[in-house]
Structure 1
Amino acid sequence: MTHFGHIVTLLLAFAAQPLLAQETDPARPRLRPSAPAPAPTPESEAPAPAIPPAPTAPGEIAIPAGPARGPETNLPLPRFVSLSTGRGNVRRGPSLSHRIDWVFLRRDMPLQVTAEYGHWRRVTDREGVGGWMHYAMLSGVRTVIADAEMLPLRARPNAEASIVAQLEGGVVARLGECEPEWCRLTAGGYKGWAPKSLIWGVAPDEIRD
């Protein structure tokens, strides 16, 4: 009991089940994005001269500027999806001939797509573990993982709002609308707002209606 009244704590329904199983040697392949290069420091206050783009060599494909798009779907990269099955094989390369490195065991868990090749998508989970999965195992339904212990869901997107429920760390919730700093989640029949910084599965600058 708290001064907010009775608070419902939502636990993992399958706490004893692993999120993934390793199918190969114990060395965990970690797929982590490289750190962004530091911004260059101007050497003087004089404006730098405009540099024309380098000419494209014969047979070379020019890469257009702007946000990255998947060559198969034309959707943004990276982007978040969710696992549509309770068992998803994660392979070392984009074909059935590549060995299985991992098996994701948690339906609806959020994943981030970082590359596309034919019917295959390269994905990573919250821990940076991943590889290639067939697109049929993925869904556009958006979910997030509670990235903090006893994450409060609040009635409004405000740190002073009353608490509707609390999520154990690792609980998967359905993602609703998002403001610059808050997102509305649904879990265990309860709906409430949580700070965007305390969930995984949504971009920091993402806005959803």
Structure 2
Amino acid sequence: MRRILLLLALTVFSVPQAFAQQAPGGRLGTGLPVPRYVSLKTDRVNLREGPSKDHRTAWVFQRAGLPVEIVAEYETWRRIRDSEGTEGWVLHSLLSGRRTALVMPWAKGDVPPIPVLNSPTDKSAVVAQLQPGVITSIRSCDGTWCRVVIVLERARDVDGYVHQDKLWGVYPNEKVE
């Protein structure tokens, strides 16, 4: 009897996650493709161990606009992954379809700044330099270059082009319009 209860408990608590990850075509919740990139809507987003408020909060994100990848859906919950590979569940209402990207979050140590250019060619003028970890807004991507905007306080926003492979928040060769 004890074994049956344990199996029943394991089934009840693991069904949502297992079902969400095995949904045919990745279209369980919204009908949108899974995986896909989105961003955090607010400065405080609880990352939970499972798809309900009853599950323990494993992490709290504190950076609105941070890009995350939706890797599964279950009802109003989205399983997300951040740039460091951390995964967990968040309410869909805490996510935005606004596309953002992180500049080279994988870079360690002394890395030269990434140039933002005034046109999508390596020979164009540099309009800014970005350190790894800076959040950019994605305006468009052609598969090689992304047009990005960086909002600066007390200064003019930076608008220019960055090599797509220097950004986390867009897939290789992805086109964004």
- Give the partner amino acid of 2:48: R
Q: 2:132 maps to which residue?
A: 169
Q: What pairs up with 1:1-209 in 2 under 5 angstroms?
A: 68-147=25-104, 149=111, 150-187=113-150, 188=152, 189-209=157-177
Q: Whose strand fraction is larger, Structure 1's or Structure 2's?
A: 2
How far does residue 70 in structure 1 lie from its aligned partner after superposition?
A: 2.4
- SS of aligned partner of 2:68: strand
Q: What SS does the aligned partner of 2:175 have?
A: coil
Deviating 4+ runs (over 4 angstroms): none
Say if 1:111 and 1:201, in contact at 8 Å, map to a contact too: yes
Distance apart, 1:205 and its partner CA? 2.3
Q: Report the 3-state secondary structure (helix = DSSP H, G, I; strand = E; otherwise coil) of the residue aligned with 1:164.
A: strand
Larger RCO: 1 or 2 (CA < 8 Å, sep 6+): 1
The answer on whether the counterparts of 2:49 and 2:88 sit within 8 Å (CA) in structure 1 is yes
How far apart are the structure 2 equivalents of 1:208 and 1:100?
Answer: 33
C-alpha deviations, 1:50-77, integer Å up to 9, x for none?
xxxxxxxxxxxxx86xxx3321100001
Larger Rg: 1
Checking the alignment, whether the CA contact within 8 Å between 1:182 and 1:194 is kept in structure 2 is yes
RMSD after superposition: 1.3
Deviation of the 1:130 alpha carbon: 2.1
- Equivalenced residue count is 144
Taking structure 2 as the reference length, the TM-score comes to: 0.78
The one-letter amino acid of 2:170's match is V
Q: Is the 8 A contact 2:26 2:72 kept in 1?
A: no
* Percentage identity across paired residues of the two chains: 40
Q: Which has the higher helix share?
A: 2
| Alpha-carbon distance, 1:151 to partner | 1.2
Q: In the aligned structure 2, how far is the partner of 1:173 from the partner of 1:116?
A: 26
Contact 2:40 2:94 in 1 (8 A): yes
Gaps spanning 5+ residues in structure 2: where?
A: 1-22
Match of 1:19 in 2: none
Give the partner amino acid of 1:151. I
Unaligned residue ranges in structure 1 (runs of 5+): 1-62
Matched residue SS, 1:156: coil
> Secondary structure in 1 aligned to 2:139?
strand
Q: d(CA) in 1 for partners of 2:145 and 2:129?
A: 15
Maintained 8 Å contact 1:102/1:130: no
Shift of 1:120: 0.3
Q: Secondary structure at the match of 1:141?
A: coil
CA distance in 1 between counterparts of 2:57 and 2:26 reads 27
